[in-house]
Structure 1
Amino acid sequence: MIHNHWLNQILPLRSILLLLAIVGPSMGLNLAAASDKPNVLLICVDDLKPTLGCYGDPLAKTPNIDRLASRSVLFESAYCNQAVCSPSRNALLTGLRPQTLGIYDLGTNFRKSRPNAITMPQFFKQQGYHTAALGKIFHVGHGNGEDQASWSVPHFKANVVGYALPESKAPQGLTREEALFDNKSAAGLPRGAVIEAANVSDETYADGKIAQEAMLRLQQASQKPQEPFFLAVGFVKPHLPFVAPQKYWDLYQRDQFSLPSITKPPADAPAYAPTNWGELRQYQGIPQEGPLAEDLQKELIHGYYAATSYMDAQVGRVLDELDRLQLTDRTIVVLWGDHGWHLGDHGMWCKHSNYEQAARIPVLFSIPGSQKNVKTKALLETVDIYPTLCQLAGLPSPADIDGSSQVQVLSHPQSHLKDHVIHVYPRSPQGKGPILGRAIRTDRYRLVEWKGYGASPETAEYELYDYQADPLETENLASQQPAVVEQLKSLLARHPEAKPQIKASAATAKPAEATSPQKPTAKIDRVKLFASKDKNADGKLTHEEFMNNQPDGPAAAPRFIKFDTNKDGTLSQEEFVGGGSSRNNE
């Protein structure tokens, strides 16, 4: 039975939204009385770029997300704040950009920077909501963990890397060191197959289990209509490995997929700007160096689409249950992808860059009684979702965050509240040390400023791309269009200087290796040692380069894994120097 008191609240919503658009964003929007707040269903998807039917992808089979789009406002120009899982999710859940927190890696928990931060679910919890997390919401792993303060009940876990078939798993009977030398598994962790298509049920993999649990939680919530819920559901596909039941692979024919027309990095871009896609190289069947064969590229693209369709089906199960329980008309639904993914464009795979394919994300807002089946070109960044949801729910504005509410855009999709968004990605090129690429994206341009933390702008290198004239980013135009660069630098100047990556405190450091009896006492210049190992001078150490001339031989292999804090399959100078600062035999 639909709750009539809720319908009485939402039926005049169109009039309220129209009024809001007229008087401006300063007017608050209260969707519900304090005793009858709207529910929130936040759907987070790992590694999802806008390869969706509702975003105009002609190949994607995503009927359920498309159905959600038919009752939503779809943001065509939404961007993550950093194209890697943990910093992106920190931005969503804290409303703070990576450069505000000083966290750009996977392993550093946001509370090491802001111990008293009030996360989005924590804020809703303080306002009387029952908050729960299923699957991947915060990044858990690489030394990072869940945030108990955010949730009313314990987090429901998910396994990102999981297989149905024994032959897909990582080689058995090998030590970690032996697996690292196996050509079938690349440097880093000895992971399993990069793809899997098995005749199994949806519940065999993590996303099926997450959908099943989400349906159960919705059923439980329907029994307590007096208690609003904030349910965060985190699906893990299409994250690597590309695994999905066979029926989702069968939705596509391999020859449907075309390879990217641009297979090289942008001309005149800094050599360190592209990603080296080390994450992909950690899986079996992927060469550790060089480009991929065309057949393998098509197989991976096929796998990405199949995994996306599998995830879409799980979203559909959750939406169907929301409808069946008659909760749809009192629930705000937001779908968000944490970052994009390179599918061979510019010769790149995975995320880990400031380019369009890594930074652009899908974002949908479905609000009861509001705008339906409309698209907006208004710019949005991940940090904006927190304050927008708060205003939609009639909650007070959260304090001390970077994002800004986009409720006016939701009421009037032709409006534009932002003239730019900002996102970042760190690098450690040889001879430069740690630097950060701060990217300003407007409706037409992207400017990337590469420089050291706190360094003078005169030391910066720049990238400039014009998406009207060159939508595929074939050439860095910074040297050709200095006037445009200066114009965009004025937008960048509005932002405070980025904080460097925070360091773990001495109390949390692990001293076990420092007490090794094999440790020499002589001090080594690790910057010079890095340069001597970096044979191709690309600013990164592969596993092979790291292992070359190691005094303790294969016993050094686990240290590569330990030092590789961002798990991209290579070591930057910062990772090499910082990770082994107490050792001499690297």
Structure 2
Amino acid sequence: MPSPHIVLIHCHDLGTWLSCYDAPHAPTPNLQRLADEGVVFDAAFATSPLCTPARSALFTGMSPHRNGLQGLTHHGWRYAPGVRTLPELARDRGYRTTLIGLQHEDPDPCVLGFDEVVGLGFLPRALQVGQESVAWFARNGRGGDRPYLVTVGMWEAHRPWPVEDYPRPPRDEVDVLPYLPDNELTREEVAGMYGSIQQIDTAVGMIIDAIEQHGDPENTLVVFTTDHGAAFPRAKGTLYDPGVKVAMITRPPRSWRVPPARVSSLVSHLDVVPTVLDLAGSAVGSHFPGAAQPGGLEGRSLAPELRGAWSADPDPGRTLFLQKTYHDGYDPIRAVRTQRYKYIRNFTPGPKLRLSKDLEESLTRKGMGDAHLQARPEEELYVLEADPWEQSNVADDPAWEHVRIQLADELDRSMKELRDPLLDGPIPPPPAPNRHQE
């Protein structure tokens, strides 16, 4: 079977705010259509709740503390020596690789290993990226004698959401998820985000139509995802599910004859690189060995699910490890996520929520009070079946002591196995960016 073309579409700060996930009123008919035709992963997670670290895991198959991008690249963080990116790995296996639009791994997109970079702007808007994508598929959609990997990046739904850029629906027609205060201030901001999301959806529709018209849908895998959760308090910048749970919608090649499905087992952005390598013919197996070794991948291939081998019952055995180190300040947090529980360890004192500048200045912040400024606990434990929005911390409840100990031990084991530098003490910031060094 020939290696499929792969189109990976990714955006900013979306989480699961789509009509096919948690926001039934979100203006996303094109993504709804893609979900209705494809394989949707209902429990997909980023590795980090921040832009550069999250994307680093998506594009390397390694956690941020291993690949080097523990904070934002425009704050000086860079890939560690020897780290190989998805376009480099795919190119080794015969793929032609192209970036259209946004990336957030390095100030210079040309160093990431793509054969071709279309559009060097740092803030490419969705409709602009959609137009560039249509033009690219019109020129290259059939692929010639080589399969292609195209990654398409969009700025939206990153803040801000000015009304002149993003026309918005009425405030009474938006969804307010349970972790946010439901008031007019929050609804005004959600309406602004919906205007931004609508442009993502329009651009995705343009790309899908271009694949249909100019490409090879019989042999093209389409993947849509986002970097992490939405830019709201208790989401972006946190290891609660609203900060790290992401949309992951896939449409397998039509020649595979895979019926639409929804997969409830835990999956990770770390699984994308092993999946691409598997589809390109590499024998990665269900879990790539050697994750503790330099260059070793941490995820597993999702090719079985994409080919239709999935179960209606979630896999109870998988454990995901989540992390935050730097955003606009040092805030080291680590977490364990299983199908039933979330365990979080805060490594430094601080408030329950440390809000980034854009969130601190948001309308939602003005309408939420100050309870989040109370001191954070060292440990947090949530029973997700009964408390899916992680509102009740039971870490100090004797009834859950055995679960807390088990997951704390799991976190310790993972940090040791994957050589998390946080075990050795505070992690220093990177050297200041230097144009001569760059």
Fold-level similarity (TM above 0.5): yes
Q: Which of 249, 272, 280 is residue 393 of structure 1 equivalent to?
A: 280
Q: Which residue does the alignment assign to 1:462?
A: 379
For 1:302-341, what per-residue CA distance to the aligned partner results, in whole angstroms no more than 9, with x for missing partners?
A: 0111211111011000100100124111111111110011
Does the alignment pair 1:254 with 2:167? no
Partner Cα distance (1:384, 1:418) in 2: 16
Offset, 1:450: 2.3
In the alignment, the residues of structure 2 paired with residue 435 and residue 254 of structure 1 have an alpha-carbon distance, to the nearest angstrom, of 34
Please tell me the root mean square deviation across aligned C-alpha atoms, in Å: 3.0
CA offsets 1:30-51 (integer angstroms, 9 cap, x no match)? x41xxxx311101011111111
Structure label with greater radius of gyration:
1
| C-alpha separation in 2, matches of 1:70 and 1:61 | 15
- Show the counterpart of 1:567: none
* Residues 72 and 136 of structure 1: CA distance in aligned 2, closer, same or farther (over 3 Å): same
2:355 aligned with 1:436: no
Distance 1:109 1:332, change over 3 A: farther
Deviation larger for 87-96 or 101-110: 101-110
Q: 2:221 aligns with which of 324, 327, 332?
A: 332
Counterpart contact for 2:141–2:211, Cα < 8 Å: no
Residues 1:159 and 1:503: Cα distance change in structure 2 (over 3 Å) = closer
Q: Does 1:209 align with 2:98?
A: no
* Residue of structure 1 aligned with 2:151, choices 205, 208, 232: 232
Which region of structure 1 is more displaced relative to structure 2, 484-493 or 225-234?
Answer: 484-493
CA distance in 2: counterparts of 1:53 and 1:124, whole angstroms: 32
What are structure 2's unaligned runs of at least 5 residues?
289-294, 349-376
Question: Compared with structure 1, are the counterparts of its residues 357 and 155 closer, same or farther at alpha carbon in structure 2 (3 Å cutoff)?
Answer: same
Seq. identity, %: 25
Aligned residues: 384
Offset at 1:110?
A: 9.8
Structure 2: how far apart are the matches of 1:258 and 1:72?
24
Structure 1 residues 159 and 349, CA, compared in 2 at 3 Å: closer, same or farther?
farther
Residue 304 of structure 2 corresponds to residue 412 of structure 1: no
Q: What is the distance in 2 between the residues matched to 1:450 and 1:384?
A: 26
Aligned 8 A contact 2:69 2:78 in 1: no
Partner of residue 519, structure 1: none
Q: Give the alignment of 1:100-499 within 5 angstroms.
A: 100-107=66-73, 112-140=78-106, 144-160=107-123, 206-222=125-141, 224-243=143-162, 249=167, 252-257=169-174, 259=176, 262=179, 294-341=183-230, 343=232, 348=233, 351-368=236-253, 369-397=256-284, 400-410=296-306, 411-414=308-311, 416=315, 419-426=318-325, 436-451=332-347, 461-480=378-397, 481-497=400-416, 498-499=420-421
Taking a change above 3 Å as real, the CA distance of residues 401 and 486 of structure 1, as seen in their structure-2 partners, is same
Distance change >3 Å, CA 112–CA 157, structure 1 → 2: closer
Q: TM-score, normalised by structure 2?
A: 0.79
Instruction: Give the Cα–Cα distance (whole angstroms) in 2 for the partners of residues 437 and 365 of structure 1.
Output: 30
Partner amino acid, structure 2, of 1:465: Y
Give SS of 1:128's match. coil
Q: CA deviation at 1:355?
A: 1.1
Report the Cα offset of residue 115 of structure 1: 1.8
Question: What is the rounded CA distance, in whole Å, between the counterparts of 2:76 and 2:122 in structure 1?
Answer: 22
Unaligned stretches of 5+ residues in structure 1: 1-30, 161-204, 265-292, 453-459, 512-586
1:559 matched to which residue of 2?
none
Secondary structure of the residue aligned to 1:447 is strand
Q: 1:502 to 1:115 in 2, by over 3 A?
A: farther
* CA distance in 1 between partners of 2:227 and 2:236 (Å): 11
Q: Distance in 2 between matches of 1:314 and 1:484?
A: 44
Q: Is the contact made by 1:381 and 1:422 (CA closer than 8 Å) also made in structure 2?
A: no
Deviation at 1:391, TM superposition (A): 0.8
Give the distance between the partners of 2:120 and 2:225, measured in 1 at CA: 19
Q: Distance in 1 between matches of 2:35 and 2:333?
A: 33
